[in-house]
Amino acid sequence: MSFTVLILFIVLIVNSMQALIPEAAEEIHEEAVIANDEREALLLQIVELARESGASETR
C-alpha cells in the first residue's frame, strides 16, 4: 500500500513540474524580447553619440 502512495506522490510531482514548463518558457521568451529591445535602443544611442562625436571633431 505504501509503495502505491509513493508512486502516486511521484506522479503528482512530475505532473506539476510538466505544467510549469510552458509558463517558464513564455516568461523566458518575454524577457528575451525585452532584452532585445533594450539592446536595439542602446545601439541607436551609441550610433547617435558616434555621429555627434564625429561631427564635433570636424569643426
The pLDDT tens digits for 1-59 are 798 999 999 999 999 888 888 888 999 999 999 999 999 999 999 999 999 998 776 65
- The cell numbers describing 22, all together, are 510552458
Please tell me what DSSP assigns to residue 31.
H
Q: Return the pLDDT at 20.
A: 84
- The single residue listed with the C-alpha cell 510552458 is 22
Q: Return the pLDDT at 10.
A: 93
Q: Return the pLDDT at 59.
A: 57
- The cell numbers describing 44, all together, are 541607436
pTM: predicted TM-score of the whole model, two decimal places: 0.57
Consecutive H or E run containing 19? helix 2-57
Half-sphere exposure of 24 (CA within 13 A, CB side): 6
Domain ranges of the chain: 21-59
How many angstroms from the chain centroid is the CA of residue 36?
10
